[in-house]
Amino acid sequence: MSAQIKWGMIGCGDVTEVKSGPAFQKVPDSALVAVMSRNAHRAEDYAHRHGVPRWYDDASKLIQDPEVNAVYIATPPSSHEQYALEAIRAGKPVYVEKPMCLDQAEAARMAEASAASGVKMVVAHYRREQPLFLMIRSLLDEKAIGEVRMARLQYIRPLMTAAEMAVPKTAWRVDPAQAGGGLFHDLAPHQLDLMTFFFGEVASASGTGLNQGGMYQADDIVTGMIRFRNDVLFTGNWCFNAAPGVSEDSCIITGSTGSIQFSVFGKPEIFVTRNGKEKKYSFPPLQHVQMPMIARTVEYFLGRATNPCSPEEGATVMSLLDSFTRK
């Protein structure tokens, strides 16, 4: 591979405007050289606004572009497997958005294709590379709260309104055919990936999901439990049908000598409690939340670093989603 990663981006949705897209231009040895959307006007507009040389309305043409030597897949999950396998067949490394795909079976095929071909793939569980979550992992490794006993996560949001459901860029996230599930499948991958990042290999997992509100076809309330091989227990509750104004985003890791509390999507803060005393750590917000992960991915594609989130790790998260919502 050349000394520069020249990205082709499939999908020009909201996630690419600030969270990821600009980072491909700002990371050393990286450039965004082509974008694609099935809506030609959107692709052309995105390329013009972000200074990208070429645009397409056909993903295959972008993948086959000789200037493109790596592919970023930022479409809804229903097309992730198709585009990833096509890029792998073309010999081009893949950075694929979360959730990795629709289910664990698709994830397994993607991981197998990457392994068999030797073409690299990274799953965009980008919180792994953010300073806040790296510090939590460091605190756990240092046994700052002793031996970890359990982790408990609560995520609560009000039921989506009819007006929100009428917006296409919101509605697809609760269409199982496009997203694999509902808001649980959209948001929980970040949270569950962090648990595997912190605690390692999964021994067993189970859960249940229901559609209580009837606003859409997907589950709107989910509960799950994981036993890790190191005997840490995780319990998680996700409710997307609470009353207006009711919300919660918290995770508490309890150890033998203290606890760590944080929010996955909220303020970038960590609260560490030991011996009855609490210490707060605060982090500046990131302009482009995926930039640290993209920087590490570029280094990996260039052979200078290890994989920050392998397809096998992505498949583990998909397996957990399936385990929690399997009927």
CATH code of the domain covering residue 25: 3.40.50.720
When pLDDT is averaged across residues 168-179 and rounded to a whole number, the result is: 89
Q: Which residues form the domain of 53?
A: 5-127+290-308
- Please determine, for residue 233, whether its predicted confidence score (pLDDT) is greater than 90: yes
Q: State mean pLDDT over 47-52.
A: 96
Q: Per the structure, how many domains does the chain have?
A: 2
Q: Are residues 249 and 156 in the same domain?
A: yes
19 occurs within a structural domain:
yes
Tell me the pLDDT tens digit for each residue of 66-94: 999 999 999 999 999 999 999 999 999 99
pLDDT tier at 1, thresholds 50, 70, 90: low
pLDDT of residue 161: 84
Same domain, 152 and 277: yes
Say whether both 135 and 246 belong to one domain.
yes
Same domain as 158, residue 249 = yes
d(CA 103, CA 107): 6
The reply to whether 197 and 233 lie within a common domain is yes
pLDDT computed for residue 168 by the predictor = 82
For residue 118, count CB atoms less than 10 angstroms from its CB and return exposed for 0-12, middle for 13-18, buried for 19 or more.
exposed
φ, ψ dihedrals at 122, nearest 5°:
-125, 135
Whether residue 318 lies inside any domain: the answer is no
Question: DSSP readout, 21-73?
Answer: HHHHHHSTTEEEEEEE-SSHHHHHHHHHHHT-SEEES-HHHHHH-TT--EEEE
On whether residue 319 sits in a domain, the answer given is no
Report the pLDDT value the prediction gives residue 202, as an integer from 0 to 100.
98
* pLDDT digits 0-9 by tens, 249-302: 999 999 999 999 999 999 999 999 998 999 999 999 999 999 999 999 999 999
Characterize the bridge pairing of strands 5-10 and 30-36.
parallel
Q: Give the pLDDT confidence of 179-205 residue by residue, as tens digits.
A: 999 999 999 999 999 999 999 999 999
Coil/strand/helix, residue 209: strand
Whether residue 302 is found in the same domain as residue 252: no
Same domain assignment for residues 23 and 100: yes
Position 210 in a domain: yes
Q: Which of 137, 134, 153, 156 is nearest to 145 (CA)?
A: 137
Q: How far apart are the first and last CA of the chain?
A: 45
- What is the model's pLDDT at position 165? 85
Residue 327, pLDDT > 80, answer no
Q: Is residue 321 part of a domain?
A: no
The pLDDT assigned to 280 comes to: 97
Separation of alpha carbons 285 and 266, rounded Å: 10
The domain spanning residue 269 has which CATH number?
Answer: 3.30.360.10
Amino acid code (one letter) for 103: D
Whether 323 maps to a domain, the answer reads no
Q: Is 255 in the same domain as 276?
A: yes
Say yes or no: 89 and 142 in one domain.
Answer: no
> What pLDDT is stored for residue 164 in this prediction?
85
Instruction: Give domain status of residue 63, yes or no.
Output: yes
Tell me: do 114 and 163 sit in the same domain.
Answer: no
* Same structural domain, 233 and 265: yes
In this structure, the answer to whether residues 116 and 35 fall within a common structural domain is yes
